[in-house]
Homo-oligomer: A and B are copies of this chain.
Amino acid sequence: MRATLQPGLTNRLTKYLRTTQQLIEEGRDAVSSKELGDFTGINPVQVRRDLNAIGFSGTRGVGYQAYDLVEAVRNILGLRQTYNIALVGAGNLGSAIAASTILPKRGFVIHDVFDDNPEKIGRTVGNVVVKHIDELKKSVTEAEEIIGIIATPASSAQEVAKLMVDSDIRVILNYTDVLLHVPSQVDVHRIDPTAQLMHTLYYLTQAEGQEAS
């Protein structure tokens, strides 16, 4: 077994990974610690220290080889090449998520989409035909899905979470604002921009207070 990385390091590595993947898509072969620092808000000295810590080094004046960096970080994080995802909710939000180009670029494939509205079942969102929610467990097992996304109205979220737990989903991305009750072995992440906003606005207010004083 590999040594366990510190949460702070893991968190920063995922940011370097995401940024480097994006720079590759913009046509870049190499990235510098300064660029990684600028786009992630992390000090370039810390960037170099982190990449050194995972045994990855760059070339002075050139930077880090972008593809190699992506592979090195993916390996150290133990990420599979692709993860299939079960998405529940085929409304505006679910359709937007299914059509997202971000997820597949990072190895996350919306493999199945479910709804309980007969008008939505059989329609295509993204590249996927919407199935009835009753097929969730069967599909999740077949496609070895351990990640579920809840993009339903709030009133259905807890019920969907229970179905996901019963289907052995391990990680739930919850786009509703319902506090889901799930067993402790299941990770729930709320996708809620308001926490980031409040955090940022606090520092903005502070900075303006300092300018004025």
Contacts and interface: CB of A to CB of B under 8 A. Distances in A.
Interface string A162-189: 0000000011010011110000000101
Contacts of A178: 22
Contacts of A199: 7, 10-11, 14
Copies in the complex: 2
Given A96-B96, A193-B189, A204-B187, A106 B18 contact: no
A93 interface: yes
Contact of A209 (B1, B15, B108): B1
A37 interface: no
A26 interface: yes
Given A14-B198, A39-B179, A189-B200, 10 more contacts: A7-B199, A17-B198, A18-B194, A25-B177, A83-B201, A92-B92, A101-B177, A105-B177, A108-B194, A187-B204
Q: Which 6 residue pairs across A and B have the least CB separation, nearest first?
A: A93-B96, A92-B96, A106-B194, A78-B205, A102-B177, A14-B198
